[in-house]
Amino acid sequence: NAKKSGRNTYSFYESKFTETSIQRTTISTNLKKAIQSGELSLHYQPQVDQFTEEIIGLEALCRWFTPEGAVSPGVFIPIAEESGLILEIGEFVLREGCLKTSKWDKAGLLNGRVAINISARQLSHVDFIDTLDSIVSETQCDPKLIELEITESSILNDPEYVIALLHTLKKRGFFISIDDFGTGYSSLSYLKNLPIDKLKIDQSFIRNITDNRKNQTIVKTIIALAKGLDIKVLAEGVETSEELEFLRLNQIDSIQGYYFYKPMDSQSVESLFKENRPIVN
């Protein structure tokens, strides 16, 4: 209790609180300008088939490069979610992601789908589906090439609304995955009623998997759950050959992680596609 422990303790907490809110306000103000001045961009991290190691898709990840350096999405995305700026950022990410997908597809370069992160607030916004529809037609992007990554918390917000929305998205042809699976509070009954195509096992369960029996059990169980429900399953954050070996033995479908590829800019993606492209005579 701050009051009981005296003046100094109280002001310590107060000043910490103030410092944090100033930081947040600064980031929020700068982020508003960053969206307008084009400081945001997308990087892409390839995902591979565990067996063939071929690229089966890419995840689009938002990047913010300021003249003073890069700001991590781990920092600015939560602030954007709180302030509502995530709606503008989310629209930028969708438009840019669909534009690149359409361009790569038309050039015959694209292997698989492009996954785009959708925040809870964005998904449950009344305009989401209209915005998505107009971006898809404007960029001439085939929804079958787009994977929408949602989180467990998106479903919890308003289950009835989200279930109906996901069915609509599925009818449009979008692929739907659950991101950071296992870290949120989702009810398993949703997996039965939702049109989910893929579970992405959170990287916290993959880390040190070779010497953490609890993580091994959790990962094996998620894989079995996905297989039983006919849902694809991917492991996030795979960094070592030991982690990969464990996942392969336990029949994971696909892998995303530094072991194979780090996120890269769109030009690097294009070079990579050109390298891997089969030569047809």
Question: How, if at all, do strands 113-117 and 146-151 pair?
Answer: parallel
Residue 143 CB, shortest distance to ligand C2E, in Å, is 18
Candidate list 117, 186, 215, 256; residue touching Mg ion; CB under 5 A? 117
Task: Let me know: does 94 contact 132? Beta carbons within 8 Å.
Answer: yes
Our CB check for ligand C2E shows the closer of 10 and 91 to be 91
Assess 122 for contact with Mg ion (CB under 5 A): no
- Among Mg ion, ligand C2E, none, residue 61 binds (CB under 5-8 Å by kind): ligand C2E
Assess 91 for contact with ligand C2E (CB under 6 A): no
Candidate list 179, 205, 206, 231; residue touching Mg ion; CB under 5 A? 179
Residue 1 CB, shortest distance to ligand C2E, in Å, is 35
- Nearest-Å Rg of the Cα atoms of the chain is 20
Which residue stretch of 11-19, 155-163, 165-173, 255-263 sits at the interface with ligand C2E (rule: CB under 6 A)?
255-263
Nearest alpha carbon to residue 186 among 211, 237, 222, 210: 222
Residue ranges in 149-168 that form contacts with ligand C2E under rule CB under 6 A: none
Residue 278 tokens, joined: 């089969």
Residue ranges in 138-157 that form contacts with Mg ion under rule CB under 5 A: 149
Candidate list 45, 102, 177, 215; residue touching ligand C2E; CB under 6 A? 45
Residue 49 tokens, joined: 């088939």
Which residue stretch of 160-168, 227-235, 244-252, 253-261 sits at the interface with ligand C2E (rule: CB under 6 A)?
253-261
Torsion of CA 13, 15, 18, 20, to 10 degrees: -70
- Among Mg ion, ligand C2E, none, residue 258 binds (CB under 5-8 Å by kind): ligand C2E
Contacts of 240 (CB under 8 A, 6+ apart): 259
- Give the three-class secondary structure for 202: coil
Q: Which DSSP string corresponds to 97-156?
A: HHHHHHHHHHTT---SEEEEE--HHHHTSTTHHHHHHHHHHHHT--GGGEEEEEEHHHHH
Binding site for ligand C2E (CB under 6 A): 45, 61-62, 72-74, 77, 90, 93, 117, 119, 179-180, 203, 236-239, 256-258, 263
